[in-house]
Chains A and B, each alone.
Chain A
């Protein structure tokens, strides 16, 4: 079984899928990524599927699962490089890729992750305060 390499670039883990994956390879990648997110404290995962000429329901599910696992481990996932024919086919297949963010290429994906991070820092404390109501009620 082949294994898909996971590269670390700064705060981001980059996975570029270059082979037609067996199902077992896809499952192994899920586990490898979860381990690497925890080991490196990465804040984002970019999955480059430029080389994939199809995404079937199994690979689609793998992408969704990776996004969910990353979220739980406090990392954002962006899928980049989807080919137009793959996008058309995915829609017709009925796969919605829930919870997955996409970008045209790796560079845009990195920008998206950086933007998501800075938004969280800016907005989180404010939202928490708003949800809890005025601080005065505690006094």
Chain B
């Protein structure tokens, strides 16, 4: 279950229940520690992962997460990709606005998660699903 220090390894895990969101936090924490992210960066990445995993569960109707270590030659990092086959996001700009929610939450999930990571990428198609990929690099 635990990733070694060899780069490019990735682990996939389903997100279909509340417990899975807890498991995603644990997995991301483990990989972030192994990648030697600072404590603050670990905390930011795990928090972002928690928001995005909940989105996958609540809005995407469940899906999966892939957690990988990455290396750009200068720095190591952690890349996390959340994907679902849910309804997709019709208005992406609106969904990325602070305070906007369709689910009764605080509307900080997507927009807040984006602020907590170094790279944020989202692909979505109505009726097909959503994939959100985030990366945090070590300093």
Contact = CB atoms under 8 A, between A and B. Distances in A.
A95 B18 contact: no
B105 A93 contact: no
B40 A89 contact: yes
A35 interface: no
A93 B19 contact: no
A54 B29 CA distance: 10
Interface stretch (A20-28, A68-76, A101-109): A20-28
Interface stretch (B2-10, B68-76, B77-85, B111-119): B111-119
B112 A95 contact: yes
B54 A58 contact: yes
Contact of A93 (B21, B29, B39, B115): B115
A54 B46 contact: yes
Contacts, number: 71
B25 A86 contact: no
Interface in A3-36: 20-24
Contacts of A94: 98, 108, 111-112, 115
Contacts of A86: 43
Across the A-B interface, the 6 shortest Cβ-Cβ residue pairs = A93-B112, A22-B18, A85-B43, A56-B50, A57-B108, A85-B40
A22 B21 contact: yes
B22 to A, nearest CB: 5
Interface of B: 18-19, 21-22, 25-26, 29, 39-40, 42-44, 46-47, 50-51, 54, 98, 105-106, 108-109, 111-113, 115-116
SS of A interface (majority): helix
Contacts of A21: 22
A88 interface: yes
A111 interface: no
Contact of B18 (A24, A55, A56, A88): A24
A95 B44 contact: no
A53 B108 contact: no
A20 B43 CA distance: 14
Interface of A: 20-24, 53-58, 60-61, 83-86, 88-89, 92-95
Contacts of B42: 85
A23 B106 CA distance: 14
Contact of B51 (A20, A53, A57, A92): A57
Contacts of A54: 25, 43, 46-47, 50
A53 B46 contact: yes
B19 A88 contact: no
A20 B106 contact: no
B95 to A, nearest CB: 15
A105 B47 CA distance: 23
